[in-house]
Each structure stands twice: as C-alpha cells, then as structure tokens.
Chains A and B, each alone.
Chain A
Amino acid sequence: MKKKIFALFLIVALMVCMVPAAFAADDEITLDVIICQYGPNTNDWFLGKGMDGSNFVEKFEAANPGIKLNLDVVSWNDVYTEVDTRIANNNAPDILNIDVFANYANEGLLMPVKDYCPDDLFEDFFPSFIEQSVIDDTVWAVPDLASARALFYNVDILKEVGVEVPTTWAELQDVSQAIIDFYDGEIYPWGIDMTTDEGQAAFAYYTWGNGGGFVDEKGEWAVNSPENVEAIEYAISLIEDGYTNPNPATQTRYDLQDMFAAGKLAMLIAPNQLPTYVADKGGEINMATAGLPANEGKTSSSVGVMDRVMAFKDEAAPDQEARNEAIGKFLKFFYDPENYVGWVSMEGFLPAVNSAVEALVKADPSFEAWLDVLGGCQFYPAAKAEWDQVKQGVIAAEQNALTGADVQAELDALQAELTK
C-alpha cells in the first residue's frame, strides 16, 4: 500500500513539474547568457538585488514579455573553460560577454553584429572600439566596457625624494635609483607584472613606448622587431637593477596594487579603477596619474583594454528572426543609459557608448580625463586569430628572459612559430 502511495506521489510530482512547460507560450524565447564577473557587485546587479532592489534579469523580463533570460555570471578564471566546454557539446550560449572573439568568429560560430544589433544602438558605440572587433570587414562583437591604463605614482614619496614623475626610460632609471637611495631599498620604485595573467600588458607598455608592438604597420605579426627586443631587455634590466618588485613572474597586478595601497610601491602602471581599489583596501595614498614613460625620442602610448559582447549562431532555433530580435532587445536594454550608467560606474569602468558619457561625467567629473586617455589608447590585436598564441608566447618569452634566456632568441622563436 505504501509503495502504491509513493508511486502515486511521484506521478503527481512529475505532472506538477510539467505544468509550467505545458502552459509556456509557444512563441516564448529563452536566451542563454554568460556574463563575466568583473567584481563583487556583478552577480548582485545581474541576479541579486543590486539594481535598485531588483536585478537586470527581472527588469529585462518585465520590460520584454516573451523573452526569458537564462543568465549565468561566471568568474574570469572559469569562463574560458565553461564556454569551450559548451561549444564542444554543441551548447554554445546565445549571448557571451568575454574579451576574445577571433577564434569564435573564424570558426563560423558567431553571427555578424548587423544581424541582431539595432542600427541606432550600433551608431552609439565609439567607432574606435568597434574597429577592434572587425575581421574581413565584418563586425563580430560589440564592446561592453573598457578600461585605460596610466602611470600612477605616490605623490608624497616622489616629493620627499625630490624627484619629478619620469617621462622617459632614462628618467625612470634615475628616479628609481633616487628612491632606492633615499629609502635604502625599503620602497620599490617601480612595479612590473609579468605573470601568466597579464604579462602581455607589460609587453605592450614597453614595446609601444619604443615604437614597436605586436604587429607592424601592415598589421602582420612582428613580435621580434629590434624595438621589441630593446624594450623587453630594458624592462628586464629594471628588474635586475633592483628597481622593481622582486618576483614579477608571480606577483600579479593585484599584488602590486596592494603594495601601492600600503605605500610600499612608488609607481606602477594600472587601470583607471586603481583609486577605487586603493580606497576599498583602506589605503590613503596621495596619488596622481601621468602618461607612460617612453624611450628617448619615442611617443608614449596608453593601453586600452576592452571586453565584448557577442552572439552565437543557433541553427536549431525555430525562428531565427525572432531570436535575433530578442538578442537586439537584450542589447538595447543593457545599453540603455538608465541601466548601463549604473553598471559601468558600479565597477569603475569606462563606457563604450556615447549616450552614457554625459551622465557618467556628471556623476564623476574625473571620468572626462579618462575618456580623453581612452581616445588615444592602443588596443591588443585581439581580432587576429593567433592572438591567444601571441599573448601566451610573449609572456613565456618575458618569463624565460627573467631566468636568463636571450630576449632576441625567445622572440625569434615565437615569430618563427607564428609565420611557419
């Protein structure tokens, strides 16, 4: 008898579970969305109570009946694993927020932006940002936000030592030596991060400041140019001369930011969110920003970092047009200044659309200066298919150079691998 009651209970439970599916509208669309976790507030904003007591998903679904969001916030550590696994299982998300896009575009997994992005929204993006997501004259992704890197320095330390902020490599060496002499090595003059996570940024800082870079004027890979070799040798010499943090292969940007917040580091290249980071850590550092030092006679160039939003193809979707329209509505809602301004300012990033600028500058006038910096930034050549390989390759070259390898030989080997 008990068994019969249990079986009946199971059947009823199963039927109850099926009710929502049975009553679901035939034309309802569910979008699988993956968003990267930018900071402690991301999850709360998208899924918790971080958007005026509600969240993005609830507000979007209320404003767009018939479209459901199956949204996951995934940490940067896991997002590549998750996305690649889903692609391997033919279960790619509909919308993905990540930094890279070239592999997905080259393998025919993405939809061109014009297929789903409303024209008025497309016109709203900064053109220089859109250019970073073009392959074969097709735009494959739109920028979601950006950050710009600048030289941050501890005003009090430089003042006490009696030196000006360096603008050239030679000045940087002189200032570093003066700081070492004054503090007897207790304070690191200069921060360098050549870790597996961000070593490509160090490569960009020094090579762009020496007229080199990842690619040549024609856009072809040129990682072993004489300018690049000289730049990396210079960066390594700073470490060997004791002007930097002692373990650049394992001390991440966050370690450097912690040292800066603790007054242990005088200068570092960091993103525009550094003041917020230092304040969150309880640091009270009198800091200021300047352009990155460049080699004598070379132009300094800021480094811009940008993430993207892209949409994957789904051949199995019953109504492609309706799906594209739903993705467009998602983007419209996300970039609506009423929502987007809160999102960008919450994590301290810079916007990717013109319509958000006015409100952001009004809320925080310091944004204006950063937007100027962003205008003159160079970006990583992420639109090239080999970017992952180059990124890890330059990091390996730097880390090998730290253990005594020849920079020229390391970069030659990488270039040979890229052009074979």
Chain B
Amino acid sequence: MNTGLNRTKWEPYIWLLPSLLLISIFVVFPILIVFKLSFSEISKAGVIGGFVGFDNYVEAVHLPAFKTVMLNTLWWVLSVVVLSTVLGFIIAMVLNQKFRGRKIARSILVFPWATSLVIQASVWNYIIKYEYGNLNNVLLNLGIIQQAINWRSSYQIEFVWECWVGIFVTVPFVTFCVLSGLQSIDDSLYEAAIMDGAGFWDKLRHVTLPMVKPSLTVSTVLNIIYVFNSFPIVYTMTKGAPAHKTDTMITYLYMLSFYERKKGPATALSVIGFLILCLCAGIYMISVMRKEEQL
C-alpha cells in the first residue's frame, strides 16, 4: 500500500524528468550563462574575463543608438501586434462565414506563416525594389503610375516596410487563434442575441468579443514575445541601416556583439530584453490564472 502511494507520488515527476532535463540544458543553463556574462568582462575576441558589476549595463544604456533602438522596438512590437491582431480578427470573422472556397482561402492564409521569415523578407525586398521591383512593375503596367517610385526613400519609410512585413507574417497566426475561438461559440448565443434585437455590432461586442477573448489573449501575449524576439525581417531588409535607425533590440544586440564586438553591452542588452519578456509572460500567466479562478 505504502509502495503504491510512493509510486503515485513520484510517477508524475519521473514522466516530467526528460522534459525538465532538456529545458534545463537548452533553456535554463544558457540563460544563467548569459546572466553571468552580462556581469563579466568579455574581450573583443570573446575571451571571458572577471566580474565587472553593472559596467556592461551602464555602457549599454549610454550607447548613442540605445534610445533610438528602444523606441524602435516599442513601435515595432506595438504596430505589428496591434495591427496584425485587428487584421487577423477581421479575416477570421470572414473565414468563419460559410462561402464557396472557404477551405482554399484558409489554406492560402497559412502560406505566409509557414514560409521562413528570411525568405519572406527577401521576397518583400524584391517587391519594393526601386529599379526592377515587382510593385513598380505592376503599377507601371497597369498605368497607375507613370514612373517608378522609390518605396524606400527614407529610413522612416524603410522601418514602416519592416513593420508591414512583420504584420504580413503574423496575421495568419492571429487569424487561426481567433478562428478556433469563433468556432467554439455556440450558435444558440447568437440566436438568443437576435431574439433580444441585437444587430451586427451588438453581437460583436456582447457575444463574439467576450467569447474569443481567451484566444485573443493567448495570441497577443505570444505575439509580443515572438515579435519582440524577431530577428530575420529587420536583419534581412536593412541590417539596421542607416546607423541603427531601423534596428530593434534583438538585431541591435547582434550587431553590437558580432560587428562592433562590444560583447559585454550586448549580453547586458539581451538580459534587459529577457526581463522585459518575463514581465510580459508574467502578465499573461497572471491573467490566465485569474480566468481559471473565475471559472
């Protein structure tokens, strides 16, 4: 009897052990190493020296591009997450309707999400190329414009293009999250709302939104993490040029480490980024737990 109890007590942990081991080796251990590195002197060639306290953090926040990069990161995350959520929600509403070719439309929507981000960014680079880009070619052939337009005429516009590509590749994820929420709504709720005289906006506000809120929360928080950590789009499209004005935190710390060889401040920045994301994940966890308690 006692043995049986013990086995029941330990069995879940034994089953969890492989996952915990893998997470420890590939996630926890590297994180601890980065924390240690952020307080260490690191040479240009990568040789790790002694403890330097918060020197790397002080140097990182005093770098000339730090403020620009932090602001860019904020705009990048806000614009991509908010706009892709709005667009994804609208597309999900459309795809939830019954129409001919709905399955094909849903399949097509997966493509941008399923394709590698480097390929997506490279393709968009070609689309908006001034000299022989597809966008100019199409507009010229349709007679909409009379001469080619430089779609990348300033770094602000280039940053907008980066955000657009971010939105383009993020929309499918939001759409499918919301779609799963929409499909779980019982039709009787809408029927009851109609009986009460609700119109389209009333149904949206009082039935649809509350019911898909859990799905939206999941997609939003995950998107904040994915988008914040996204490297390929910015790196492929501009490499942060000119002078880090289109960099986000992730691409900037890479450039700092491997181009400028300021590895100490780069590790300090990666810890700052990690803490910001921990905060976001924390908010998510708290919100989910509260919902579970309410249920």
Contact = CB atoms under 8 A, between A and B. Distances in A.
B258 A88 contact: no
Of listed B44, B242, B258, residue having the most chain A CB within 10 A: B242
A88 B241 contact: no
Given A195-B239, A388-B260, A246 B46 contact: no
Contacts of A197: 239
B153 interface: yes
A385 B47 CA distance: 15
Categorize the interface residue count of chain A.
20 to 34
A262 interface: yes
Interface in A369-407: 385, 388-389, 392, 395-397, 399-400, 402-403
B45 A87 contact: yes
Interface in A87-132: 87-88, 103-104, 107, 109
Contacts of B66: none
A247 B43 contact: no
B52 to A, nearest CB: 16
Q: Report the 5 A-B pairs with minimum CB-CB distance, sorted nearest first.
A: A399-B242, A84-B46, A249-B242, A399-B243, A88-B46
B88 interface: no
Contacts of A104: 45
A107 B245 contact: no
A247 B150 contact: yes
A80 interface: yes
Contacts of B240: 196
Interface of A: 80-81, 83-85, 87-88, 103-104, 107, 109, 194-197, 246-247, 249-250, 259, 262, 264, 385, 388-389, 392, 395-397, 399-400, 402-403
B48 A195 contact: no
Interface string B219-256: 00000000000000000011111111100000000010
Given A103-B44, A249-B155, A400 B238 contact: no
A88 B152 contact: no
Nearest to A403: B242
B261 to A, nearest CB: 5
Of listed B155, B243, B263, residue having the most chain A CB within 10 A: B243
Given A264-B131, A403-B245, A109 B239 contact: no
Interface of B: 42-48, 130-132, 150, 152-155, 158, 237-245, 255, 257-261, 263
Of listed B43, B45, B131, residue having the most chain A CB within 10 A: B45
B64 to A, nearest CB: 8
B45 A103 contact: yes
A150 B58 CA distance: 44
Contact of A396 (B153, B155, B243): B243
Given A87-B46, A107-B45, A250 B238 contact: yes
B15 to A, nearest CB: 20
B43 A80 contact: no
A83 B261 CA distance: 12
A389 B43 CA distance: 13
B242 A388 contact: no
A107 B263 CA distance: 15
A385 B131 CA distance: 40
Contact of A399 (B42, B43, B241, B258): B241
B259 A196 contact: yes
Interface of chain A, helix or strand or loop or mixed? helix
30 contacts: A80-B258, A83-B46, A85-B46, A87-B45, A87-B46, A87-B47, A88-B46, A104-B45, A107-B43, A107-B45, A107-B47, A109-B45, A194-B242, A196-B240, A246-B130, A246-B153, A247-B130, A249-B238, A249-B241, A250-B152, A262-B132, A385-B44, A388-B260, A396-B244, A399-B241, A399-B242, A400-B243, A403-B154, A403-B155, A403-B243
Nearest to A199: B241
Given A385-B44, A403-B245, 18 more contacts: A80-B259, A84-B257, A87-B45, A103-B45, A196-B239, A196-B240, A196-B259, A246-B153, A247-B130, A247-B150, A259-B131, A264-B131, A388-B44, A388-B261, A389-B260, A395-B243, A402-B242, A403-B154
Contacts of B239: 195-197, 250
Contacts of B258: 80-81, 84
Contacts of B158: 250
A58 B45 CA distance: 31
A399 B255 CA distance: 15
Of listed A83, A109, A246, A247, residue having the most chain B CB within 10 A: A247
A250 B153 CA distance: 11
A259 B129 CA distance: 12
A88 B132 CA distance: 44
Contacts of A385: 44
Of listed B48, B131, B240, residue having the most chain A CB within 10 A: B131
A135 B152 CA distance: 43
Contacts of A403: 154-155, 242-243, 245
A403 B241 CA distance: 11
B196 to A, nearest CB: 56
A264 B44 CA distance: 41
A88 B48 contact: yes
B10 to A, nearest CB: 22
B150 A246 contact: yes
A365 B257 CA distance: 43
Contacts of A194: 242
Contacts of B257: 84
A211 to B, nearest CB: 26
Nearest to A392: B260
A399 B245 CA distance: 9
Contacts of B238: 249-250
Contact of B259 (A87, A264, A392, A400): A392
Contacts of B243: 395-397, 399-400, 403
A87 B44 CA distance: 11
B242 A400 contact: yes
B248 to A, nearest CB: 15
B47 A109 contact: yes
A271 B47 CA distance: 34
Contacts of B43: 103, 107
A247 B261 CA distance: 26
Contact of B241 (A103, A196, A397): A196
Contacts of B241: 195-196, 249-250, 399
